[in-house]
Amino acid sequence: MAQPYVLLSAAVSLDGFLDDTGPERLLLSGPEDFDRVDEVRAGSDAILVGAGTLRTDNPRLLVYSEERRAARVRAGRPEYPLKVAVSASGDLDPDALFWHTGGAKALYTTDKGAERLSGLLPADVDVVALGPDAEWRAVLAHLGDVKGVGRLMVEGGGQVHTQLLQQGLADELQLVLAPLVVGQPDAPRMFGPGAYPPGRMRLLETRPVGDVVLMRYAPTAPGIGRSASAADRRWLETACELAAQCPPSRTAFSVGAVIVAADGTELARGHSREGGDPVVHAEEAALAKLDPADPRLATATVYSSLEPCARRASRPAPCARLILDAGVRRVVTSWREPDTFVAAADGTGLLTSEGVDVVVLPEYEERAKAPNAHLLSPDEGR
């Protein structure tokens, strides 16, 4: 499944509100920031908005700069990003500007929502009914797999932002802080109450844009159990980058590993043949940097570009055993071990047989294989 990169974008007042309670939309951004948003839109494959925002603001969600639209066309992309709306109820105005401006449009809804809207929306709107509920993972999977969306910009409102962040599905937040105070407790907030992934996000950037400040953050907390979060994908990318930095070898794989606490704190990282040790494995190198009694290990996740080994000749304990002995209960990897050095190695099988949740994200397999291409048969290297 090719999950899109999900970017949550919003402007908030100094007291954290997305809007006030008045009938008109409160303008929080200044002209420079509206232009920045236009640029982010132009760089996205799709722009998504919740039905609440459609009902309240009647937005068009266009790329307004002709130059940016022309650049998209020159690059072989559609003039406008795909516009996406979500509504469970189907309570939408068919005359809303959203449906009658820009390029391609899609609505993700429930079976009931699709029934309610049957024949009402313009014929070119792709109405995708996702069963009794429109689960976010199903929406994102459809956008990635069927619509080919690689980069999704989410432009609100509060409920949509809240759900995507709470479910660990946001890769990045682009939050603009505007210099005004709303002061109305009933006004919509960007993030509502509820349970969010724990820990601190990673600061990617701050930038003044006119009189507002842009803050970009990336969530870092691993997913839970077999369910992958957006942060899992970023950490696995880091493991793949580490694999690419290994000293080359003709007799062993190049692998990267990162160990991350439940709150998103990086505990340790390692890679094959680290520190001049010709046989050390990535997970082994990372685990060796931690106190075996570290209580964070019990809820940590190990990210490894190649599944942890189940058997090895070079040392008595394979990495799957080291992970089990460390008390780690969750592993994320991208590539199941081929028979190159050990026949039928099944580190995933060993880990799962002892109760560890193993998440395999095959969309990163090619990146994990890249530094090992010289070890793989043409068939395996594909």
Ligand X SMILES: NC(=O)c1ccc[n+]([C@@H]2O[C@H](COP(=O)([O-])OP(=O)(O)OC[C@H]3O[C@@H](n4cnc5c(N)ncnc54)[C@H](OP(=O)(O)O)[C@@H]3O)[C@@H](O)[C@H]2O)c1
Q: Where are the beta strands (DSSP E) in 272-356?
A: 301-306, 330-335
Structure tokens at 230: 């957006």
Q: C-beta of 135: minimal distance to ligand X in Å?
A: 6
Residue 231 and residue 252: Cα distance in Å, rounded? Answer: 29
Q: Helix, strand, coil shares of the chain as percentages rounded to 5?
A: 30, 20, 50
Is 188 a binder of ligand X (CB under 6 A)? yes
In the DSSP assignment, the letter for residue 181 is -
Is 163 a binder of ligand X (CB under 6 A)? yes
Is 52 a binder of ligand X (CB under 6 A)? yes
Q: Could you tell me which residues are beta bridge partners of residue 303?
A: 258, 332
Q: C-beta of 50: minimal distance to ligand X in Å?
A: 2
Q: C-beta of 190: minimal distance to ligand X in Å?
A: 7
The contact pattern for ligand X, residues 56-75, with x = CB under 6 A and - = no contact, is xx------------------
The contact pattern for ligand X, residues 129-148, with x = CB under 6 A and - = no contact, is -----x-x------------
Of 19, 10, 12, nearest in space to 184 by CA:
19
Residues 90-119 that bind ligand X (CB under 6 A): 91
Is 168 a binder of ligand X (CB under 6 A)? no
Is 157 a binder of ligand X (CB under 6 A)? yes
Three-state secondary-structure class, residue 193: coil
* Sign of torsion over alpha carbons 241, 368, 197, 50: positive
Our CB check for ligand X shows the closer of 50 and 256 to be 50
AA letter at 350 = L
Q: According to CB under 6 A, which one of 3, 44, 87, 272 is a site residue for ligand X?
A: 87
Our CB check for ligand X shows the closer of 163 and 265 to be 163
Q: According to CB under 6 A, which one of 25, 112, 216, 336 is a site residue for ligand X?
A: 25
Contacts of 227 (CB under 8 A, 6+ apart): 168, 359
Q: C-beta of 205: minimal distance to ligand X in Å?
A: 18
Is 308 a binder of ligand X (CB under 6 A)? no
How many CA atoms, within 13 angstroms, populate the side-chain half-sphere of residue 367?
A: 20
Segment interacting with ligand X (CB under 6 A) among 149-157, 277-285, 300-308, 338-346: 149-157
Our CB check for ligand X shows the closer of 215 and 342 to be 215
Residue 299 and residue 262: Cα distance in Å, rounded? Answer: 6
DSSP per residue over 79-113, as a string?
SSPEEEEEESS----TTSHHHHSSS-EEEEE-HHH
Footprint of ligand X (CB under 6 A) = 10-11, 18-19, 25, 28, 50-53, 56-57, 86-89, 91, 134, 136, 155-160, 163, 188
